[in-house]
A = this chain, B = another copy of it.
Amino acid sequence: MTHPPLGDMLATLRETTPLVHCMTNYVAMNSTANLLLAIGASPAMLHAPEEVAEFTVIAGALSINIGTISSSWAASMALAARAANEAGTPWVLDPVAVGATAFRQQVCTELLAHQPTVIRANASEVMALTGLTSQGRGVDATTTTEDAAQAAIGLAQQQRCIVAMTGETDFITDGTHHYRLTGGHSMMPRVTTLGCGLSALVAGFVAANREDPLTATLAALACFSIAGSRAGQQASGPGSFQVALLDALYSLTPDDLSSLSQLEALHAV
């Protein structure tokens, strides 16, 4: 199988600086904006019901993350997701800790009806979404990526979307084509909201490359894989890791992505 043109995806993002409408949790807002700016996209955070639908239509993509959800934010997210779906604006769902409480499951059920383009989640969140038994106890993944691959494929088929399940090994599927991606660094789980930011990065890549959301998703994850590895080589702890990660994303080139060796297309799972 030919290597997907990941470098082209980054080149297009840099040329078009897509506007990404982020409705994310309070913890992740600042770091998400900085991750988007570092790679070359343009973030906008807004959530008022008076304006979200108006704004979603002019954005290149919408990224929804339920980390610090409340009923009023959930209502705004549903408005925005509906508007995105109707306008053909791609959108990404990050169902943080969906297995942890009944409220989160209810919010995600409502959001899934608006047909996300991509679901970016960890393994326990994917399993919670598919209704399988999950040991999710918050934002941490306690299920291995391998165990959940079948759940991810089922979810992608059922929702007719891309599922990007991330962890030590990432598994990406549109229900038909499956990829495995390694890389990154063991210090990544010691920095908060990197997964949340990655979801917004996926939205940025999909905004810039609407004709090929699967390759765009792979490119976003590849950026994190490479930049994470490089940052880990320089960092002496999670503080310096964060700094180095932003610098590494900023310095990343399309050639870096094109020569990535950690991506593997799978013929069967």
Contact = CB atoms under 8 A, between A and B. Distances in A.
Nearest to A104: B51
A245 B34 CA distance: 15
A250 B235 CA distance: 12
A19 B250 CA distance: 33
A90 to B, nearest CB: 17
A46 B102 CA distance: 13
Contact of A55 (B38, B101, B189, B244): B101
B103 A51 contact: yes
Given A33-B192, A190-B37, A242-B239, A68 B47 contact: yes
A113 interface: no
A64 B153 CA distance: 40
Given A55-B101, A68-B45, A27 B33 contact: yes
A84 interface: no
A28 to B, nearest CB: 8
Contact of A192 (B27, B37, B55, B100): B37
A53 to B, nearest CB: 10
Q: What is the oligomeric copy number? A: 3
A138 B19 contact: yes
Interface residues of A, number: 61
Nearest to A250: B237
A31 interface: yes
B70 A47 contact: yes
A256 interface: no
A192 B34 contact: yes
Contacts of A262: none
B104 A33 contact: no
A25 B38 contact: no
A44 interface: yes
Given A48-B69, A239-B250, A240-B246, 18 more contacts: A19-B138, A26-B29, A34-B239, A38-B239, A42-B139, A44-B97, A46-B68, A50-B101, A50-B103, A51-B100, A54-B101, A55-B100, A55-B101, A58-B100, A237-B251, A238-B247, A239-B244, A239-B246
27 contacts: A27-B29, A27-B45, A28-B30, A33-B192, A34-B191, A34-B192, A37-B190, A38-B237, A43-B139, A43-B192, A44-B139, A45-B67, A46-B69, A46-B101, A50-B71, A50-B102, A50-B103, A51-B100, A51-B101, A235-B247, A237-B249, A237-B250, A238-B247, A238-B250, A239-B242, A239-B250, A240-B243
